[in-house]
């Protein structure tokens, strides 16, 4: 091999950290193709590639060189990561075991034509999900089924409960990465995990209250309250928790509904019914994907009033992260309804960040876009929306906004670093 691939920082780094890729030993102006590939824990292959030309000294630096085409174009130092696409259609990029890294193979191929390319150099780059010193502790306390991630150090840390959506199970990758930024984070399962209910039929808020109390009583969690982070169905659960439970200081929801969805919510002697929906109102995109954005009832219609979550009862601030190209439901409309409701009750206007060109599934930085995935029950691909470049920019910015918001309201810090958008 004639080319040397160098990565900075050298060695293993976190998935949410940028890496600088350079190639040395090329001829001046030499055309090459860079290719990235990885396999997830289930063996699914993801790939991305881009065409470049070395500079006048034979150096290729992805922080300065423009991609001339391929999976992306232009100045995209991390494009080989966020542009990864699955070989198997509709396969979502996920990290199921945060205790092992992803190994990304980077290859330098001669020329821009696939049939004439020969390998000039390669490197394997490991990207993990646990920062040095972060502890992963499974939690089986009472009814609570979760995993707690604790940063290194003897002091207590601001606590966060992290909830995902209607796919169920226990998702740890967001919590594990957040712990690397100074938070004690509880990744909380609430169905389809171990002895929890298999289906989302009836939801009892007492279960989530037990999880909040677990965090408030933990010696490594800094009080007097905790933060909530919820995506999709997990988002409306966080809104309900903030509205009815004590000890909630700040709440962030990602593409969440302002009404209770999918299953009745029980708390003590109260029941909040689920928002109405009509599956007959789905549409089909030009690509043949199911589009569910129009199946949901209007939360402001009289028949749905009881499903609305009384946000005005919450004590802490809200941050709504909204994808403008969300095709699962009308996240933009729901955020506006939440803002109007809070202000009508004399509460502060929530912080809302709108991201154009962004689909439903907002993950930490450099996670590839999931535009569509196969519905677990219907067995057909469901459209989530988004464009890869805009989605990548949004994920990087939203990740910083999440940290800034929680550091400000849980830790008393004004900012971590300025937003890039």
Q: Which residues are catalytic?
A: 232, 326, 360
Q: What does the alpha-carbon distance between residue 260 and residue 167 come to, in Å, rounded to a whole number? A: 16
DSSP string for 73-125: -BS-TTHHHHT-EESSTT-----S-TTS-EEEEEEEEESS-GGG--EEEEEEE
Q: What does the alpha-carbon distance between residue 95 and residue 12 come to, in Å, rounded to a whole number? A: 16
Instruction: For residue 301, report the phi and psi dihedrals to the nearest 5 degrees.
Output: -70, 150
Residues 310-331 as b/e (b if ≥16 CB within 10 A, e otherwise) read: ebeebebbbbbbbbbbbbbbbb
Angle at 103 between CA 48 and CA 362, to 5 degrees: 60
Sign of CA dihedral 384, 103, 404, 231: positive
H/E run at residue 163: strand 157-163
From first CA to last CA, the distance across the chain in angstroms is 40
Query: What are 34's two structure tokens?
Result: 């860079």
Of 399, 394, 400, the closest CA to residue 416 belongs to: 400
Q: What does the alpha-carbon distance between residue 178 and residue 130 come to, in Å, rounded to a whole number? A: 9
Q: Which residues, other chains included, contact 116 with Cβ-Cβ below 8 Å and sequence gap of 6+?
A: 110
Q: Where are the alpha helices (DSSP H) in 151-301?
A: 173-179, 205-217, 233-244
H/E run at residue 188: strand 184-188
- C-beta of residue 68 within 8 angstroms of C-beta of residue 53: yes
Q: What does the alpha-carbon distance between residue 171 and residue 92 come to, in Å, rounded to a whole number? A: 13
**Mapping DSSP to helix (H, G, I), strand (E, B) and coil, where does residue 414 land?**
coil
């Amino acid at each position: 091999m004639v080319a040397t691939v160098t990565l900075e920082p050298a060695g293993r780094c976190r998935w949410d950290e940028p890496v600088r890729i350079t190639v040395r030993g090329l001829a001046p102006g030499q055309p090459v193709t860079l290719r990235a590939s990885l396999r997830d824990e289930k063996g699914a292959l993801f790939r991305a590639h881009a065409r470049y030309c070395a500079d006048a000294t034979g150096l290729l630096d992805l922080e300065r060189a423009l991609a001339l085409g391929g999976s992306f174009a232009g100045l995209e130092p991390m494009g080989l990561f966020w542009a990864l696409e699955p070989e198997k259609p509709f396969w979502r990029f996920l990290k199921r075991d945060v205790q092992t890294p992803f190994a990304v193979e980077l290859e330098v191929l001669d020329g821009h034509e696939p049939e004439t390319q020969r390998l000039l150099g390669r490197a394997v780059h490991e990207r993990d999900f646990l920062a040095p010193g972060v502890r992963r502790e499974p939690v089986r306390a009472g009814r609570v089924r979760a995993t707690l991630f604790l940063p290194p150090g003897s002091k207590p840390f601001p606590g966060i409960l992290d909830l995902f959506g209607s796919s169920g199970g226990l998702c740890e990758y967001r919590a594990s990465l957040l712990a690397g930024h100074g938070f004690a984070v509880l990744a909380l399962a609430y169905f389809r995990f171990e002895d929890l209910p298999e289906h989302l039929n009836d939801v009892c808020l007492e279960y989530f209250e037990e999880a909040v109390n677990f965090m408030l009583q933990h010696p490594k969690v800094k009080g007097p309250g905790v933060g909530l982070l919820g995506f999709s169905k997990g988002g409306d659960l966080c809104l309900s928790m903030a509205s009815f439970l004590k000890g909630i200081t700040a709440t962030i929801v990602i593409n969440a509904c302002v009404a209770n969805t999918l299953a009745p919510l029980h708390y003590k002697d109260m029941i909040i019914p689920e928002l109405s929906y009509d599956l007959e109102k789905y549409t089909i995109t030009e690509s043949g994907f199911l589009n569910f954005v129009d199946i949901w009832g209007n939360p402001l219609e009289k028949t749905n009033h009881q499903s609305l979550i009384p946000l005005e009862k919450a004590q802490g601030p809200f941050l709504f992260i909204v994808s403008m190209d969300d095709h699962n439901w009308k996240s933009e409309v729901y955020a506006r309804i939440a803002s109007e409701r809070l202000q009508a009750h004399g509460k502060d206007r929530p912080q809302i960040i709108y991201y154009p060109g962004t689909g439903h599934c907002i993950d930490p930085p450099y996670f590839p876009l999931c535009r569509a995935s196969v519905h677990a029950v219907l067995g057909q691909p469901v459209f989530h929306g988004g464009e890869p470049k805009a989605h990548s920019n949004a994920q990087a910015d939203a990740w910083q906004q999440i940290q800034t918001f929680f550091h400000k309201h849980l830790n008393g810090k004004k900012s971590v670093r300025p937003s890039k958008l």
